[in-house]
Chain A
Amino acid sequence: MALENLNLDIKKGATGLLGPNGAGKSTFLKTILGLIQATSGEGTVLGHDIRTEGAAIRARIGYMPEYDALNPDMDAINQVRYSGELLGMNPIVALQRAHASLQYVGLGEQRYREIKSFSTGMKQATKLACAIIHDPELIIADEPSNGLDSTAREFMIDTLINTVKQGDRSVLMASHLMDDVERVCDDIVLLHKGKLAAQGRIKDLKAIDREIEIHVWGGASKLEAAMIQRGMRVRREGRVMRIANESEDLTSEILLCASQVGAQIRRMHEYEASLEDLFLVIMENLGYDVKSSEDLFSHPIHARKVDAPGHMGGGAS
Chain B
Amino acid sequence: MSDDEEILPQSLPQPMTIEPQPQPLAQPQPQPMASVPQAPILPIPQQVQKVESVETRMATAETPVTGQARMDTAWGSSEGDEDISQMASISQTDTGEIFKQNYEPWRGELNPRWMRNWAILRHHILGIFKKGHRPWGVPTRIFLVLVFFASLSDAALTLLSSLLGDSEFHSYWGVNRDNLYGHVLGFFPRNVMYYPIVAALLVGGVISEDRLHGTSALYFSRPINRFDYVGMKYASVAFIQAIIIIFTLFLYYLTEIMVFGRGWAWIVDTFPIFLGALMGGVLLIITYTSIGLALSSVSKGKFFPGIGLLAIILGTKTLAIIVKNLFDREILYLLSPYDCLAHVGQTLVNTQPTYDQYSWTWSLASLIVMNAIALYVLSSRVSSMEVTRE
Give the dominant DSSP class at B's interface.
loop
Nearest to B107 among chain A residues (CB) is: A135
A177 lies within 8 A of chain B by Cβ: no
A residues in contact with B123, CB < 8 Å? 82, 85
B188 lies within 8 A of chain A by Cβ: no
Task: Say whether B387 contacts A63, CB under 8 Å.
Answer: yes
A residues in contact with B219, CB < 8 Å? 86
Task: Say whether B222 contacts A68, CB under 8 Å.
Answer: no
Segment of A53-61, A185-193, A235-243 engaged in the interface with chain B:
A53-61
Q: How far is the CA of A244 from the CA of B135 in the complex (A)?
A: 61
A82 CB contact (under 8 Å) in B112, B119, B213, B214? B119
B residues in contact with A91, CB < 8 Å? 119, 122
B residues in contact with A87, CB < 8 Å? 110, 116, 222-223
**Residues A88 and B214 in contact in the complex (CB < 8 Å), given A63-B221, A73-B135, A166-B102:** no
B389 lies within 8 A of chain A by Cβ: yes
A228 lies within 8 A of chain B by Cβ: no
A residues in contact with B225, CB < 8 Å? 55
B residues in contact with A218, CB < 8 Å? none
Task: Say whether A88 contacts B221, CB under 8 Å.
Answer: no
Q: How far is the CA of A292 from the CA of B164 in the complex (A)?
A: 90
Task: Say whether B218 contacts A166, CB under 8 Å.
Answer: no
B residues in contact with A26, CB < 8 Å? 388-389
A88 CB contact (under 8 Å) in B107, B223, B390? B223
B214 CB contact (under 8 Å) in A35, A69, A85, A104? A69
A residues in contact with B216, CB < 8 Å? 69
**Residues A65 and B214 in contact in the complex (CB < 8 Å), given A29-B388, A82-B123:** yes
A106 lies within 8 A of chain B by Cβ: yes
Task: Say whether B103 contacts A167, CB under 8 Å.
Answer: yes
Nearest to A114 among chain B residues (CB) is: B135
A69 CB contact (under 8 Å) in B217, B223, B224? B217
A residues in contact with B24, CB < 8 Å? none
B residues in contact with A110, CB < 8 Å? none
A residues in contact with B218, CB < 8 Å? 69-70, 82-83, 86, 130
B residues in contact with A130, CB < 8 Å? 218
Task: Say whether A106 contacts B221, CB under 8 Å.
Answer: no
Q: How far is the CA of A60 from the CA of B222 in the complex (A)?
A: 9
Nearest to B388 among chain A residues (CB) is: A26
A residues in contact with B104, CB < 8 Å? 100, 104, 135
A residues in contact with B388, CB < 8 Å? 26, 29-30, 65-67, 142
Task: Say whether A68 contacts B214, CB under 8 Å.
Answer: yes
B111 lies within 8 A of chain A by Cβ: yes
- Smallest Cβ distance from A128 to chain B, in angstroms? 12
B187 lies within 8 A of chain A by Cβ: no
Residue-wise, chain A 132-164 has the 8 Å CB interface mask toward B (1 for contact) of 001100000010000000000000001100110
Q: How far is the CA of A66 from the CA of B122 in the complex (A)?
A: 27
Q: How far is the CA of A164 from the CA of B122 in the complex (A)?
A: 34
Nearest to B390 among chain A residues (CB) is: A67
- Smallest Cβ distance from B353 to chain A, in angstroms? 46
B215 lies within 8 A of chain A by Cβ: yes
A89 lies within 8 A of chain B by Cβ: yes
- Smallest Cβ distance from B116 to chain A, in angstroms? 5
A residues in contact with B107, CB < 8 Å? 135
Nearest to A75 among chain B residues (CB) is: B132
Residue-wise, chain B 191-221 has the 8 Å CB interface mask toward A (1 for contact) of 0000000000000000001000111111111
A residues in contact with B209, CB < 8 Å? 71
User: In chain A between 66 and 114, which residues have their CB closer than 8 angstroms to a CB of chain B?
Assistant: 66-75, 78, 81-83, 85-91, 93, 97, 100, 104, 106, 108
Task: Say whether B111 contacts A35, CB under 8 Å.
Answer: no
Q: How far is the CA of A58 from the CA of B215 in the complex (A)?
A: 16
Task: Say whether A104 contacts B387, CB under 8 Å.
Answer: no
B105 lies within 8 A of chain A by Cβ: yes
- Smallest Cβ distance from A124 to chain B, in angstroms? 13
Task: Say whether A35 contacts B119, CB under 8 Å.
Answer: no
**Residues A104 and B102 in contact in the complex (CB < 8 Å), given A65-B214, A68-B214, A86-B120:** yes
- Smallest Cβ distance from B311 to chain A, in angstroms? 26
A33 lies within 8 A of chain B by Cβ: yes
Task: Say whether A134 contacts B110, CB under 8 Å.
Answer: yes
Nearest to B389 among chain A residues (CB) is: A67
- Smallest Cβ distance from B14 to chain A, in angstroms? 56
Q: How far is the CA of A93 from the CA of B111 in the complex (A)?
A: 11
Q: How far is the CA of A33 from the CA of B29 in the complex (A)?
A: 90
- Smallest Cβ distance from B201 to chain A, in angstroms? 15
Task: Say whether B389 contacts A104, CB under 8 Å.
Answer: no
B residues in contact with A106, CB < 8 Å? 99, 101
A residues in contact with B327, CB < 8 Å? none
B115 lies within 8 A of chain A by Cβ: yes
Task: Say whether B116 contacts A71, CB under 8 Å.
Answer: no
A35 CB contact (under 8 Å) in B110, B116, B215, B387? B387
Q: How far is the CA of A142 from the CA of B387 in the complex (A)?
A: 11
**Residues A83 and B222 in contact in the complex (CB < 8 Å), given A89-B111, A104-B104:** yes
Q: How far is the CA of A167 from the CA of B134 in the complex (A)?
A: 32
Q: How far is the CA of A219 from the CA of B389 in the complex (A)?
A: 56
Task: Say whether B222 contacts A67, CB under 8 Å.
Answer: no
B108 lies within 8 A of chain A by Cβ: yes
Q: How far is the CA of A88 from the CA of B105 in the complex (A)?
A: 17
**Residues A85 and B135 in contact in the complex (CB < 8 Å), given A69-B215, A106-B99:** no
Interface centre among B120, B217, B221, B387 (most CB of A within 10 A): B221
Nearest to B226 among chain A residues (CB) is: A35
- Smallest Cβ distance from B313 to chain A, in angstroms? 27
Task: Say whether A88 contacts B110, CB under 8 Å.
Answer: yes
- List 6 A-B residue pairs with CB atoms under 8 Å apart, sorted by A's residue number: A33-B221, A33-B387, A58-B221, A63-B387, A65-B221, A69-B214
Q: Which residues of B contact A (CB under 8 A)?
A: 99, 101-108, 110-113, 115-116, 119-120, 122-123, 131-135, 209, 213-225, 387-390
Extra 5 A-B pairs, beta carbons < 8 Å, given A30-B388, A59-B110: A67-B388, A67-B389, A82-B218, A83-B222, A88-B111
Which 9 A-B residue pairs are closest in the complex by CB-CB distance?
A: A167-B103, A85-B119, A63-B221, A55-B223, A135-B106, A88-B110, A73-B135, A88-B111, A69-B217
